[in-house]
Structure 1
Amino acid sequence: MASITEYKGGYRAFVTVNGKRKTKTFDKRREAQEWVAHTEVGMRREADKPEGSRHTVLEMLQRYTAEVTVKKEGARPEMMRIKAFLRNFPALASKTLEAVRTPDLAAWRDARLAGFTMDDGTKVDAVSSASVLRDINWLRNAFKIAREEWHWTEGNPFMGLRMPQEPPPRDRRISPYAEVRPLVRHLGYRTGVAPETKSQEVALAFLIALRSAMRAGEILSLGAANINMAKRVVTVEHKMQYLTGRMRSIPLTRHAARLLRPIAGREKCFTVSSASLDTLFRKARDQLAVGRPALREIHFHDTRAEALTRLSRKVDVMTLAKISGHKDLSILQNTYYRETAEDIAARL
């Protein structure tokens, strides 16, 4: 459908095809008529194309970011990964969804694992298989939503793609006396005293994580509104809440409750940000690691596995899964349960 109307001493042309509309202004009617004829033919030709040839990977990821990623707890790191993908692989991003084939994704996978040089000479370092698997997860999900919900494409280029081998799960344990105590002292924390500095807050968060199996982000979200000290239960948002629609209730051990008590009445228990917590923890760890290189291997997130391994001696596996929030027991067993064969043999 097309029309031309008078507009401010000139003419405005409208073209509408399948609900999509284009408009433009002209000084002369003849120019408007030529534009209408040319534009309508082009729009009808475009409308006859299959959806997969009308949308690019770039358009798909832009919509995916705006509609899906932003709702995730881990939105920021995923946005950064998508941004890096679009920056480092412009040729793949410019392909239409119909044109993307499994070999294209295989080439992208191999380039990420091996490292590559961009057309402008910029060198991009190789990354671990775990990092590539994380990228595959969100990219595959974007194609799935584009196919099943938006009906932008019919193909599945991930069909037949070989996944990189997953690295073995970490088995790092944390020693209470050789590692926890020196770290906490170095950060300036005193037991039973409310922290006054950011470093002391990091130490307290570290101790709570070891006693509760909570993630760093969950601990930093604590405040008077979501802590019930009488019941020893905290209610927090979690990274999968965009799917479940429910917050997570976490039971506290007596030790975790005792650690929280001096700050439980605060509107916000912790003032340190997630980024600052990570920076301060790494700085303290590295300073202590001089002469003790094994300390450099500790990650803050290892506290979650350490806590769950300790709790596994006190509760059954279903209760442990309830505490950790895992629905897949294999993840709980293979990733977060880190008791060694020697530990088990000593207890038998």
Structure 2
Amino acid sequence: MKIKGLFRRKRHGKESETWWMRFSANGKQHKVSTGTSDRRLAEKVLNKVKTQVAEGKWLDVNIAKQHNFDELMERYLDEHSKINKAVSTHEKDLYMKEHLKTFFEGKTLDQIDSDAILLYKNKRLREGAAQNTVLNELGMLRNALNIARHVWKWIKENPFSGLTLNLQANDVDRWLTKEEEEKLLEAAQGKLNGQLPDIILLDLHTGLSQEEILKLKWSQIDLSRKTLTTVRKKTKKKSRPARTIPLNATVVECLKRLAKVQSILGYVFFNEDGSPIGANRLKKAFKSAVKTAKIAYCRFHDLRHSFATRLVQKGVDLYKVSTLLGHSSIEVTQRYAHHWSESLRDGVDILDYQETKVLEKTEKKRKRKTKSA
């Protein structure tokens, strides 16, 4: 048996923080994570393995011990999240990874079990994180572990399997009232080089996703036909065609004004150098505008909810709303169905009018009979 010592793995030119050990035993070469970034502790782990091999007590390790959280996240973010998710969603994954890292960093995958997951959940809740936030963070970890199991074959079972987290998702849709819209547009003045009010207005009248708004180019817009053609990254992967959105007079007027000053790269909304505005920059500016407007908590994505909600409340059928939003199926749009009842109210209110006429005629007949008697 020959111990070759400690090393740090390199990926994309970067060294991992965790120390690994390379050695041969039982006629096979082995590369195993020590599970620590501490050199002295890694040496102790290596010496322990060296002793086990010398005494014939060392057995082939579980492959889950050969990979750790840091590798899992790096590969998941590079090979899955970055490629398959919208830019804003990928950036959200990067942000969530930082929270997960505070607890799972350096842990080998066999150490990420159901107990560790529940300990992390309780830790985040004690820190004041919302249940929905913790649910999203653990959801990303679950997805990464699923890929590690089914694609990379790093683990035999996902520790989330059969695990109940008892966390409640935030399913409440937020939409702006007209009064809130006015306050928000006023508060947005001057932000993002004066572009934020137009971004908000465009989203409220088209229902585009954040990614679609930020990546929007003039080549996608036909002002003569009053249409805009777009495709969401998350739906593009599913072979669904681009959707064409009709533009109302408010949007056309806005775009005609914006067309007078265009980015050299063709983006409708852009930075000083002509590049598209980043998702984080937009979120910060929007959050600041919401705070200045002194309205209830509102995310940029809630502008899309506002677009859909207003359409449904005005009686637009769910199929049309689903098509305008680019949903994969009308089932996804059903979340707005409860707003539909209000748009139908005038249909039943007419019965009140008819009933009133009947009652008035009955009352007149009763009075005539009373007089004649």
Q: TM-score of the superposition, structure 1-length normalised?
A: 0.69
Tell me the SS of whatever aligns to 1:296.
Answer: coil
> Match for 1:153 among 139, 152, 155?
155
- 1:101 maps to which residue? 113
Does 2:298 align with 1:286?
no
Q: Is the 8 A contact 1:18 1:47 kept in 2?
A: no
- 1:214 maps to which residue? 208
- 2:44 maps to which residue? none
Does 2:103 align with 1:89?
yes
Once residues 186 and 57 of structure 1 are traced to their aligned partners in structure 2, the CA distance between those partners, rounded to angstroms, is 42
> 1:131 Cα shift?
0.9
> 1:340 Cα shift?
7.5
Q: Is the 8 A contact 1:112 1:126 kept in 2?
A: yes
Does 2:90 align with 1:75?
yes
Tell me the SS of whatever aligns to 2:204.
Answer: helix
Once residues 239 and 29 of structure 2 are traced to their aligned partners in structure 1, the CA distance between those partners, rounded to angstroms, is 34
Once residues 316 and 341 of structure 1 are traced to their aligned partners in structure 2, the CA distance between those partners, rounded to angstroms, is 11
> 1:20 Cα shift?
7.5
> 1:82 Cα shift?
1.2
1:7-58 Cα offsets, whole Å, 9 max, x none, are: xxxxxxx98976879xxxxxxxxxxxxxxxx8xx79xx99933322322233
Once residues 131 and 213 of structure 2 are traced to their aligned partners in structure 1, the CA distance between those partners, rounded to angstroms, is 29
> Match for 2:71 among 35, 39, 59?
59
Once residues 213 and 164 of structure 2 are traced to their aligned partners in structure 1, the CA distance between those partners, rounded to angstroms, is 37
Q: Is the 8 A contact 1:226 1:235 kept in 2?
A: yes
Once residues 347 and 68 of structure 1 are traced to their aligned partners in structure 2, the CA distance between those partners, rounded to angstroms, is 49
Tell me the SS of whatever aligns to 1:339.
Answer: helix
Does 2:45 align with 1:50?
no
User: Looking at CA atoms only, which structure, 1 or 2, has the larger radius of gyration?
Assistant: 2
Q: Which region of structure 1 is more displaced relative to structure 2, 201-210 or 237-246?
A: 237-246
1:135-166 Cα offsets, whole Å, 9 max, x none, are: 12211111111111111111121111113443
Mark the runs of 5 or more structure 2 residues left unpaired by the alignment.
3-22, 32-49, 272-276, 349-373
How many pairs does the alignment contain? 293
- 1:144 maps to which residue? 146
Once residues 132 and 24 of structure 2 are traced to their aligned partners in structure 1, the CA distance between those partners, rounded to angstroms, is 50
Tell me the SS of whatever aligns to 2:211.
Answer: helix
Does 2:294 align with 1:302?
no
- 2:258 maps to which residue? 263
- 1:194 maps to which residue? none
1:264-307 Cα offsets, whole Å, 9 max, x none, are: 57322112533343333333333332xxxxx2334332221111
> 1:243 Cα shift?
4.0
Once residues 205 and 223 of structure 1 are traced to their aligned partners in structure 2, the CA distance between those partners, rounded to angstroms, is 13
> Match for 1:133 among 132, 135, 142?
135
Q: Is the 8 A contact 1:205 1:219 kept in 2?
A: yes
- 1:225 maps to which residue? 219
Q: Is the 8 A contact 2:118 2:165 kept in 1?
A: no
- Shift of the 216–67 alpha-carbon distance from structure 1 to 2, 3 Å rule, reads closer
> 1:321 Cα shift?
1.6
Amino acid at match of 2:267: K
- 1:121 maps to which residue? none
- 2:247 maps to which residue? 253
Identical positions, percent: 23
> 1:186 Cα shift?
4.7
Once residues 169 and 55 of structure 1 are traced to their aligned partners in structure 2, the CA distance between those partners, rounded to angstroms, is 35
Tell me the SS of whatever aligns to 2:109.
Answer: coil
RMSD between superposed Cα atoms in Å: 3.7
> 1:208 Cα shift?
0.9
- Shift of the 300–98 alpha-carbon distance from structure 1 to 2, 3 Å rule, reads closer
- 2:194 maps to which residue? 200
- 2:362 maps to which residue? none
Pairing of 1:178-197 with structure 2 (within 5 A) = 178-188=179-189
Once residues 186 and 155 of structure 1 are traced to their aligned partners in structure 2, the CA distance between those partners, rounded to angstroms, is 51
Q: Is the 8 A contact 2:315 2:344 kept in 1?
A: no
Amino acid at match of 1:309: T
Once residues 187 and 69 of structure 2 are traced to their aligned partners in structure 1, the CA distance between those partners, rounded to angstroms, is 49
Q: Is the 8 A contact 2:132 2:170 kept in 1?
A: no
Q: Is the 8 A contact 1:218 1:237 kept in 2?
A: yes
Once residues 29 and 242 of structure 2 are traced to their aligned partners in structure 1, the CA distance between those partners, rounded to angstroms, is 44
> 1:347 Cα shift?
5.6
Amino acid at match of 2:181: V
Tell me the SS of whatever aligns to 1:89.
Answer: helix
- Shift of the 251–286 alpha-carbon distance from structure 1 to 2, 3 Å rule, reads same
Once residues 160 and 257 of structure 2 are traced to their aligned partners in structure 1, the CA distance between those partners, rounded to angstroms, is 52
Q: Is the 8 A contact 2:217 2:268 kept in 1?
A: yes
> 1:103 Cα shift?
2.4
Amino acid at match of 2:321: L
Amino acid at match of 2:317: D
- Shift of the 198–143 alpha-carbon distance from structure 1 to 2, 3 Å rule, reads closer
Q: Is the 8 A contact 1:172 1:302 kept in 2?
A: yes
